[in-house]
Amino acid sequence: MLVSRRTVLAQAAAAAVLAPGLARAAADPLVLHKSLICLDTHLDMPANLARPGWNVMERHDVDQDFTQVDYPRMIEGGLDGGFFSIYTPQAPVTPEGMSAMRDAAFLRAAEIREMVAANPQKFELAFLPEDAARIAAAGKIIVFQSIENSGILGNDVTLLRSFYKLGVRMAGPIHFLNNQLGDSATDKRQWGGLSPLGRDFVREANNLGVVLDASHSSDDVFDQMMDLSRSAIICSHSGCRAVHDHPRNLDDARIKRLAAAGSTIQINSYNEYLVTVPPDPARDKARREARSRMRNLGTMTAEQATATVRAVAAELHAIDKQYPAPRADFEEYMKHVMHALDLVGPDHVGVGADWDGGGGVNGMNDVSKIPRITERLIKAGYSERQLSNFWSGNALRVLGMAHAKRQQG
């Protein structure tokens, strides 16, 4: 049964009378968790909105259709919303490739707005930090929007203004591959950081009040965005290199620099960024071939798409049994969370688990399980105020900083 936010708040208030502060939290961590405004700064769920037969209002199962975020599981897990990503895979940096990316991104933005319009009692678009509390109090899901891979802008970064008008308030310049804006953390060095156009992108984002997101960017891009940006940048879904040495993770010096600027690192749960997965060409080939059968889901009927996805899911489970690979668990994820908290404190750490984008670990494989994080932090002694900042206050503060320093009306 889905429980409304008002009911949860009433339960929390009643619990507070009997057991204030951390004693209340220890008595029922789930009640405290659901009384907080909990946001995830990187939700790839919009990629599922165009899938025939997939409905955000229905409960799904990650083992059957790969998806990790829907309305019922958000309510169960106390996830009040976050930044819903307009993600577009990197295409060739050609006029044709960039045009295709731009069109796909506008379509994804439209799909997000259509989701909200179709369910106005359950979802609401958010544009400013103060919108979050108001929308949560109304019992609705908070829908901020972000761009993952601003290569969609082509060679005209002023196109970001159109996305801003649609609601985008966070944007990362780069994804897995280098593009016309700069170098990726997981590609060969091309620009030595930001390209000249990438520097223009930083200025445009600053002028609009769009938070710059350094996740996926190379260390050089991180450093240069920190140097150039008038406002604090963010890492919306990253990990700690000191815990697991991967180029997508941040080293301690950069995490400290992020915090010193008033910002936050939001911890990712993507398996390869948490544990080492040795190469296995046979496994990778088998998985690619299985997933290739889902390329044309958009052309299928709902029944065909659902059957195809379930068949591929079963095939992938069989492949994983045949070619077992290390899989991170909840403890591996929490090592990154606790390292960041120990390093810079609860005012500079949060959650960006990369749901529906490859995130999820054993023991926390969809958003319904995120109360485990709060339970662990309560046991570690973090206060309700600190948990509130961890779950939403830190990210909203960074958004407020960007908005305060914007120049364009």
Residue 227: CA count within 13 A, CB half-sphere? 9
pLDDT above 90 for 6: no
Question: For the segment 372-393, what is each residue's pLDDT rounded down to a tens digit?
Answer: 999 999 999 999 999 999 999 9
Measured at the CA of 204, the angle between CA 203 and CA 207, to 5 degrees, comes to 85
pLDDT of residue 92: 94
Q: Which residues contact 66 (CB under 8 A, 6 or more apart)?
A: 309, 313, 356
Question: For the segment 10-27, what is each residue's pLDDT rounded down to a tens digit?
Answer: 444 444 433 445 555 556
Tokens of 145: 């929007």
Q: Helix 330-344 and helix 252-260: axis angle, to 10°? A: 50
With cut-offs at 50, 70 and 90, classify the pLDDT of residue 407.
confident
Q: What is the mean pLDDT of residues 125-131?
A: 98
The C-alpha atoms of residue 333 and residue 318 are separated, in whole angstroms, by 25
Query: For 46-119, where are the E strands, in sequence order?
Result: 81-87
Q: Please say whether the beta carbons of 124 and 138 come within 8 A.
A: yes
Q: What is the mean pLDDT of residues 54-62?
A: 98
147 beta partners: 86, 171
The C-alpha atoms of residue 169 and residue 402 are separated, in whole angstroms, by 9
pLDDT of residue 2: 41
Say which residue the tokens 């045949």 belong to: 322
Measured at the CA of 132, the angle between CA 126 and CA 138, to 5 degrees, comes to 100
Between strands 265-267 and 235-238, the pairing is parallel
